[in-house]
């Protein structure tokens, strides 16, 4: 999976958490802050859409 796709998945999850009424207001605010930060990186990450980070092997 490429770096841009990983960031997009993180954006979706952060948005889901920010809107989850089962979480505390503090946790929803933290998720919104994370979502905003990831959105700011989206343009930069798009340049790396063909870069796939190395996979780790369990030890």
Mean pLDDT is lowest, of 5-9, 33-37, 49-53, for 49-53
19 pLDDT exceeds 70? yes
Tell whether 51 is covered by a domain. Answer: no
Is residue 33 a part of any domain in this protein?
yes
Sign, Cα dihedral of 31, 33, 42, 2: negative
**pTM for this model (two decimals):** 0.76
Is 53 within the bounds of a domain?
no
Average pLDDT over residues 23-50: 92
Note whether residue 7 is domain-resident: yes
Neighbours of 10 (CB within 10 A): 16
State how many domains the chain has: 1
* Closest residue by Cα to residue 6 from 58, 59, 55: 55
| Pair of tokens at residue 57 | 């092997």
Contact 7, 42 (CB under 8 A): yes
Per this entry, what is the length of the chain?
59
Residue 59 lies in a domain: no
Asked if the structure places residue 52 within a domain, the reply is no
Q: How far apart are CA 42 and CA 16, in angstroms?
A: 17
């Amino acid at each position: 999976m490429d770096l841009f796709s990983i960031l997009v998945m993180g954006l979706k999850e952060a948005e889901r958490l920010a809107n989850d009424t089962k979480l505390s207001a503090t946790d929803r605010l933290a998720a919104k802050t994370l979502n905003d930060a990831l959105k700011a990186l989206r343009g930069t990450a798009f340049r790396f859409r063909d870069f796939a980070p190395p996979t780790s092997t369990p030890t």
